[in-house]
């Protein structure tokens, strides 16, 4: 039965305190939970108490210390019901048993590499003990953990440690107390034989905070960057949002078996080790940037998520969209703002627009779900962040800041809704934000069409904007939305100082009607409109700009995002023509523009690298929209790359040379930018098979002092399909065979090769001793890279790619449904494929749908995909 937002009721009971007693054992862990419960005065319900469970093994229960008889309660694996509820508060104690070693779902209490750890969001706490496992039940937790000292010298839980000690039989214990009331999804416990890296932080108001990162022994040196990122995050949140840390200790644990990126449990963040561990020799610049962003993200959740949490899971974007917005702002301040913005928009378009345009489309705040784990999506996270960003653009920085302060002040300690959040900004700005709320309710990517007419004699420019809101699943009709559109008019020498309605124009208009016109004056020369500057709204922009206009923007636009966009749009125009007709000649003006970008590359290498990178195959597919032939797209892109390689060979080699870096590796944005330009140039230079360029790649592969350059060279060599490529792959494996996170990269490179032989190669790699279907990182590195990032080979015309992935999904599903459901999302674009592939993809999906015993996770995705 689906869960619906309209059915929300306040909880019938409250749980004020929780005492958890956890006796750890590999297969027979004993949990005794003591809950102080009372009826919720805000609830009308008078019935029995029903607690959630999931696969629990009940042992015994006590009411106010007195053992409960079988007639008093019903204990099932999925629920616990107490028939007669005492008046006032009472204490319910429940003992259960669980087997952490058998927990392959990685939800609840499980083992990762011999450590015990937990993951409770969204509904994993009910796999540990019976509870009101919903985010609006906030309790103060005390956790006592007992374990063998030898097996688990480190015993960690939320809050501050208040006691520890030694017991008989080689066992020991620790007691942790978290004074902040929190929902059960923020509970965490970790125990194991782990190494710890320590540091400290003094908050703005003088609180001394101990910082600890726990990792496998021997990995201590790989935590330096994560620790540094943590301290920078803590300072930044004080300076920019006025938010201080609130406990005496903040801990991060890196585990190697984790379904997602990381988890913000109060005071005890648990991370996928991929987002903690980094050394120059093992991690790329992208890894470093991800670590910085995710460390920040989880830390920022302490205020946006933990101190103020969600009333129900429909409000997930309340914490996720806002926290992504905050981590994006943090990274922008630490690095280059325009480069960060461009990268975020690239992610948004590739992950979210494709979701919004297919059968899995849903609003930023969904109103119905079958399985909440399937809603940790790009729409909730990335589009959710865009909505917060638009709010800031619309009401201005000052009102936005006031609104945030008001939110923290008004709702600290509460579980709230999107309406509560938006009300703070309405109050702070004095604006009516009811139309803005549609961003949370209406799914699909809006399209903005723009048309402009310049009147030379009057010096005016009339810009007409209209909004088109496409139908999406369950939403055939839509109401007009509110769009902040940043814009300018650009002349040959740059921005024109224009007026709107006679006033100085500040660069922002709000589109609220289906169609609206804006009349700009003081427009003395023929302008090119620069629309949606900084990507001020998450929309598709349809504006007819010819090549000359795009070149003007590329040269003269003051907005870096739109300069980048102009290069992309130009390339996309060319590529679309090439897809239709592979004999289309390549526009020499484009080659010249690329040459210009290369020539000025030294000014801002990271930006130049982004401008040189051609739209991806998936970008082109999205632009085409229907009857997509992935092979034709690949062909077009390959032709353009090799043409650029041939025409610009010498310039590319010069750029590669110029962008080399002497001295030790630094993960800082400045050096990372130089490496990214060098490596984009390297890839283009090798695109036509140039011997000279491939020799440069080989030298880089042999001599690199960091993983970024080494991986880039490996990828380029492997793409070349030469014997040298195979040799490099082999050499790399021999060098890094014992390092799982590095071997993952090696797997991904091969899984993404656009070669006929790739599927066979992937099947071979599954037999590699480093591969395991049980570990999510391994599966994503090989299988996920193939299904999500290899357009031609996943979409092989005979359907082999689809049936291969389907088989893997079906074999993973019984063990780890979340992981299986994630893989299935690779089919999200199936309807836009050409008829042959579409039929094969549909058949594969129908085959999965027909299997008995599917998990709720997989059943939900497959049914929605086919609907
Ligand atoms: N709250 C986590 C984060 O975004 C994500 C955890 C999601 N886990 C899950 N099983 N759905 O930081
Ligand atoms: Zn999050």
* The dihedral formed by the CA atoms of 132, 136, 139 and 144, expressed in degrees to the nearest 10: 60
- Helix count (H) and strand count (E) of the chain? 29, 34
Residue nearest to atom 2 of ligand 1 (CA): 263
Question: Relative to the CA of 376, which ligand 1 atom is closest?
Answer: 11
Question: Which residues, at least 6 apart from 43, have a Cβ–Cβ distance to it below 8 Å?
Answer: 9, 10, 11, 12, 13
CA atoms within 13 A on the CB side of 841: 23
pLDDT bucket at 400, cuts 50 / 70 / 90: very high
**Residue of 125, 233, 260 to mutate, ligand 1, most atoms within 8 A of C-beta:** 260
Question: Which residues, at least 6 apart from 407, have a Cβ–Cβ distance to it below 8 Å?
Answer: 308, 420, 421, 424
Ligand 2 center–CA 414 separation, angstroms: 18
Ligand 2 center–CA 226 separation, angstroms: 17
pLDDT digits (tens, 9 = 90+) for 174-231: 999 999 999 999 999 999 999 999 999 999 999 999 999 999 999 999 999 999 999 9
Query: How far is Cα 519 from Cα 722, in angstroms, rounded to an integer?
Result: 58
- Position 362 scores a pLDDT of 98
pLDDT digits (tens, 9 = 90+) for 157-177: 999 999 999 999 999 999 999
* 221 to 27, 216, 292: CA distances (angstroms): 33, 11, 16
Residue nearest to atom 12 of ligand 1 (CA): 263
Residue nearest to atom 8 of ligand 1 (CA): 121
Ligand 2 center–CA 517 separation, angstroms: 39
SS3 674: helix
SS3 648: coil
Ligand 1 center–CA 263 separation, angstroms: 6
> Which pair of structure tokens corresponds to residue 768?
């590699």
The candidate with the shortest Cα–Cα distance to 136, out of 9, 230, 227, is: 9
Mean pLDDT across 331-354: 98
- Position 592 scores a pLDDT of 98
Residue nearest to atom 1 of ligand 1 (CA): 263
Which residues sit with Cβ closer than 5 angstroms to ligand 2, an ion? Answer: 320, 323
- Position 526 scores a pLDDT of 97
Ligand 1 center–CA 39 separation, angstroms: 30
Query: How far is Cα 142 from Cα 178, in angstroms, rounded to an integer?
Result: 6
Neighbouring CB atoms inside 10 A of 818's CB total 22
Question: What number of residues does the chain have?
Answer: 867
Q: What is the mean pLDDT of the chain?
A: 98
What residues are annotated to the active site? 298
Query: How far is Cα 185 from Cα 310, in angstroms, rounded to an integer?
Result: 11
Residue nearest to atom 3 of ligand 1 (CA): 263
Query: How far is Cα 144 from Cα 386, in angstroms, rounded to an integer?
Result: 41
pLDDT digits (tens, 9 = 90+) for 246-282: 999 999 999 999 999 999 999 999 999 999 999 999 9
pLDDT bucket at 38, cuts 50 / 70 / 90: very high
**Residue of 298, 369, 375, 376 to mutate, ligand 1, most atoms within 8 A of C-beta:** 376
From the CA of 327, the nearest ligand is 2
pLDDT bucket at 523, cuts 50 / 70 / 90: very high
Neighbouring CB atoms inside 10 A of 246's CB total 17
Ligand 1 center–CA 407 separation, angstroms: 23
- Position 186 scores a pLDDT of 99
pLDDT over 70 percentage in the chain: 100
Tell me, what's the ipTM? 0.98
Residue nearest to atom 6 of ligand 1 (CA): 263
* 699 to 660, 702, 718: CA distances (angstroms): 12, 5, 14
Query: How far is Cα 850 from Cα 867, in angstroms, rounded to an integer?
Result: 14
From the CA of 818, the nearest ligand is 1
- Position 432 scores a pLDDT of 98
- Check residue 184 and report its DSSP letter: G
Question: Relative to the CA of 119, which ligand 1 atom is closest?
Answer: 10
> Which pair of structure tokens corresponds to residue 202?
């003094």
- Position 734 scores a pLDDT of 97
- Position 714 scores a pLDDT of 98
Question: Which residues, at least 6 apart from 784, have a Cβ–Cβ distance to it below 8 Å?
Answer: 822, 823, 826
Cα 745 to chain centroid distance, Å, stands at 19
* The dihedral formed by the CA atoms of 410, 413, 417 and 420, expressed in degrees to the nearest 10: 0
pLDDT bucket at 470, cuts 50 / 70 / 90: very high
Query: How far is Cα 650 from Cα 660, in angstroms, rounded to an integer?
Result: 16
- Protein residues whose CB sits closer than 6 Å to any atom of ligand 1: 121-122, 259-260, 262-264, 297-298, 320, 373, 376, 818
- Position 485 scores a pLDDT of 98
pLDDT digits (tens, 9 = 90+) for 484-496: 999 999 999 999 9
CA atoms within 13 A on the CB side of 811: 10
Mean pLDDT across 816-832: 97
- Position 568 scores a pLDDT of 98
DSSP string, 353-409: IHHHTSTT---SS-SEES-GGGG-SHIIIIIHHHHHHHHHHHHHHHHHHHHHHHHHH
Residue nearest to atom 5 of ligand 1 (CA): 263
Query: How far is Cα 117 from Cα 128, in angstroms, rounded to an integer?
Result: 11
Query: How far is Cα 305 from Cα 315, in angstroms, rounded to an integer?
Result: 11
Query: How far is Cα 606 from Cα 671, in angstroms, rounded to an integer?
Result: 9
**Residue of 119, 263, 384, 820 to mutate, ligand 1, most atoms within 8 A of C-beta:** 263
pLDDT digits (tens, 9 = 90+) for 727-776: 999 999 999 999 999 999 999 999 999 999 999 999 999 999 999 999 99
- Position 196 scores a pLDDT of 98
Ligand 2 center–CA 345 separation, angstroms: 18
- Check residue 275 and report its DSSP letter: G
- Position 87 scores a pLDDT of 94
- Check residue 850 and report its DSSP letter: T
Cα 834 to chain centroid distance, Å, stands at 29
- Position 681 scores a pLDDT of 98
Question: Relative to the CA of 294, which ligand 1 atom is closest?
Answer: 12
Ligand 1 center–CA 373 separation, angstroms: 8
> Which pair of structure tokens corresponds to residue 828?
């999200």
Query: How far is Cα 109 from Cα 185, in angstroms, rounded to an integer?
Result: 12
DSSP string, 762-797: HHHHHTSTT--TT-HHHHIIIIIHHHHH-HHHHT-T
**Residue of 121, 366, 857 to mutate, ligand 1, most atoms within 8 A of C-beta:** 121
Question: Relative to the CA of 818, which ligand 1 atom is closest?
Answer: 10
């Amino acid at each position: 039965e689906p869960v619906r937002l309209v059915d929300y009721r306040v909880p019938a009971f409250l749980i004020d305190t929780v005492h958890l007693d956890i006796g750890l054992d590999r297969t027979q862990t004993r949990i005794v939970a003591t809950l102080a419960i009372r009826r919720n005065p805000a609830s009308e319900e008078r019935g029995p108490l029903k607690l959630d469970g999931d696969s629990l093994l009940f042992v015994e229960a006590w009411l106010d210390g007195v053992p409960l008889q079988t007639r008093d309660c019903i204990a099932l694996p999925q629920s616990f019901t107490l028939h007669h509820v005492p008046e006032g508060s009472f204490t319910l104690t429940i003992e259960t048993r669980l087997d952490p070693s058998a927990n392959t779902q990685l939800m609840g209490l499980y083992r990762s590499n011999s450590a015990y750890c937990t993951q409770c969001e969204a509904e994993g706490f009910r796999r540990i003990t019976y509870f009101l496992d919903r985010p609006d039940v906030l309790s103060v937790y005390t956790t006592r953990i007992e374990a063998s000292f030898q097996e688990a010298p480190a015993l960690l839980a939320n809050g501050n440690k208040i006691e520890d000690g030694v017991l008989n039989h080689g066992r020991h214990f620790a007691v942790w107390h978290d004074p902040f009331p929190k929902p059960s999804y923020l509970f965490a416990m970790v125990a194991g034989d782990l190494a710890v890296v320590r540091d400290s932080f003094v908050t703005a108001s003088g609180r001394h905070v101990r910082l600890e990162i726990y990792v496998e022994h021997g990995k201590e040196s790989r935590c330096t960057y994560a620790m540094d990122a943590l301290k920078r995050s803590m300072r930044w949140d004080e300076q920019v949002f006025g938010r201080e840390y609130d406990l005496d200790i903040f801990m991060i644990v890196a585990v190697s078996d984790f379904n997602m990126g990381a988890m913000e449990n109060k005071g005890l963040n648990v991370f996928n080790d991929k987002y903690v561990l980094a050394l120059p020799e093992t991690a790329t610049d992208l890894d470093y940037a991800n670590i910085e962003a995710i460390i920040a993200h989880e830390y920022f959740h302490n205020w946006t998520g933990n101190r103020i949490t969600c009333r129900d899971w429909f409000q997930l974007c309340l914490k996720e969209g806002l926290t992504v917005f905050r981590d994006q702002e943090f990274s922008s301040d630490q690095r280059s703002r325009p480069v960060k913005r461009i990268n975020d928009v690239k992610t948004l378009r590739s992950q979210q627009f494709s979701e919004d345009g297919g059968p899995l489309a849903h609003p930023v705040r969904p109103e119905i779900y079958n399985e909440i784990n399937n809603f940790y999506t790009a729409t909730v996270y990335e589009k959710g962040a865009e909505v917060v960003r638009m709010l800031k653009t619309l009401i201005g920085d000052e009102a936005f800041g006031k609104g945030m302060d008001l939110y923290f002040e008004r709702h600290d300690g509460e579980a709230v809704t999107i309406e509560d959040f938006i009300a703070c900004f309405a109050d702070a700005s004095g604006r009516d934000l009811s139309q803005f709320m549609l961003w949370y309710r209406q799914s699909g990517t809006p399209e903005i069409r723009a048309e402009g007419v310049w009147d030379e004699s009057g010096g005016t420019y009339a810009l007409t904007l209209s909004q088109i809101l496409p139908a999406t699943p369950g939403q055939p009709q839509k109401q007009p939305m509110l769009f902040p559109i940043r814009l300018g008019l650009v002349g040959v020498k740059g921005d024109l100082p224009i007026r709107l309605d006679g006033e100085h124009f500040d660069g922002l208009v709000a589109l609220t009607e289906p169609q609206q016109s804006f009349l700009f004056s003081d427009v003395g020369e023929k302008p090119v409109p620069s629309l949606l500057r900084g990507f001020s709204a998450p929309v598709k922009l349809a504006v007819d700009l010819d090549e000359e206009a795009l070149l003007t923007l590329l040269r003269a636009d003051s907005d870096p995002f739109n300069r980048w966009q102009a290069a992309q749009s130009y390339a996309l125009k060319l590529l679309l023509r090439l897809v239709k007709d592979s004999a289309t000649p390549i526009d020499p003006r484009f080659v010249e523009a690329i040459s210009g970008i290369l020539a000025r590359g030294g000014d801002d290498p990271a930006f130049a690298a982004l401008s040189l990178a051609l739209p991806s195959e998936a970008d082109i597919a999205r632009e085409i929209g229907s009857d997509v032939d992935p092979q034709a797209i690949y062909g077009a892109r390959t032709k353009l790359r090799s043409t650029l390689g041939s025409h610009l060979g010498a310039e590319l080699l010069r750029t590669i040379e110029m962008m080399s870096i002497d001295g030790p590796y630094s993960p800082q944005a400045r050096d990372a930018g130089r490496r990214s330009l060098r490596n984009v140039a390297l890839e283009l230079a090798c695109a036509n098979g140039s011997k000279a360029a491939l020799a440069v790649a080989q030298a880089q592969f042999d001599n690199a002092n960091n993983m970024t350059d080494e991986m880039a060279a490996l990828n380029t060599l492997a793409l070349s399909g030469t014997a040298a490529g195979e040799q490099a792959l082999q050499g790399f494996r021999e060098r890094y065979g014992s390092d799982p996170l590095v071997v993952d990269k090696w797997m991904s490179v091969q899984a993404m090769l656009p070669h006929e032989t790739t599927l066979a190669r992937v099947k071979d790699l599954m037999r590699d001793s480093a591969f395991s279907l049980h570990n999510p990182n391994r599966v994503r590195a090989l299988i996920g890279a193939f299904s999500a990032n290899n357009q031609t080979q996943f979409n092989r015309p005979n359907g082999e790619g689809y049936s291969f992935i389907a088989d893997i999904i079906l074999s993973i599903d019984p063990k780890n449904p979340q992981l299986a459901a994630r893989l299935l999302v690779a089919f999200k674009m199936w309807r836009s494929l050409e008829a042959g592939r579409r039929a094969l993809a549909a058949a594969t999906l129908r085959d999965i749908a027909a299997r008995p015993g599917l998990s709720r996770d997989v059943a939900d995705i497959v049914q929605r995909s086919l609907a």
